[in-house]
Amino acid sequence: MSTTQNRIETTFENLKADGKKAFIAYVCAGDPTMDGTIEVVKGLDDAGVDIIELGLPFSDPLADGVVNQMAAQRALEAGATTAKVLELVREIRTFSSTPIVFFTYLNPIYTYGFRQFYLDAIAAGVDGILLLDLPPEEAVLNEELCGVSESLQQIRLVSPTTPASRIPSLVAQAQGFVYYVSREGVTGEQTTLSDTIASQVELIKSATKVPVAVGFGISTPEQARTVATMADAVVVGSAIVRLIADSGTGGDLRGSVGAFVKPLVDAVKSV
């Protein structure tokens, strides 16, 4: 068992001590290019993001809306591979200590080699992983899919359609934080927030001591502030990815991303 505290745990502990909530940003690795992602991450750091979710580009991202699907496609067309994304993380670690969570599907990891991927991700500096299409009940049925290392924390996903009776078993082994999907469907910006967020977060928190983050559909400072009053962390993805798409490969990606994300971070920190 590892005795070294994970960066995700440290971040949440420090924020809790300061009475603050966490802001988590999602971007797709390799979008618009590998070098462009470096500038995006620097912009996120400039804005004060607490945790970065890096999407691992995949050709069939079923849980993603069109904005994130197109980001994955741009990354793949620009030459992104699993090995190159791991190298990208190694480069990020030369200038950033912000916790990194891989947001991904099982297929690219299984193709790479499940155990080897975990070991290489840990060596590169990844702190956690959210596998969208690997339920924990399935993982324990396959020896090769579990028990790799506690150094790479397993982020669990809970959705609005998750039966209340299943939540305790689902989050029992959660590490880092639990990601609550605030609405049914795929990722994407929304004009209104679900009216069940508070009750669902309370239900999850009754079953685990791990922090609860809420994402899917949050795109404005006002929405981020509202969600921060109900959860331990707020996740924004599609709105940032859309900005990256609009910026293209030219211009000041670092500056534009930092300027866009800073008001979102500030809104979360104001709670």
Catalytic residue among 39, 53, 120, 232: 53
Known catalytic residue: 64? yes
Catalytic residue among 31, 64, 127, 232: 64
123: enclosing H helix or E strand: helix 114-124
Known catalytic residue: 202? no
| Residues linked to residue 55 through DSSP beta bridges, in sequence order | 28, 103
Q: How long a stretch of residues is the chain?
A: 271
Backbone dihedral region of 185: left (phi > 0), alpha (psi from -120 to 50 degrees) or beta?
A: left
| Closest residue by Cα to residue 178 from 150, 198, 207, 152 | 207
Quick one: three-class SS letters along 221-258? HHHHHHHHCCCCEEEECHHHHHHHHHHCCCCCHHHHHH
Q: Is 76 exposed, middle or buried (0-12, 13-18, 19+ CB in 10 A)?
A: middle
> What type of residue is 222?
E
Catalytic positions are 53, 64
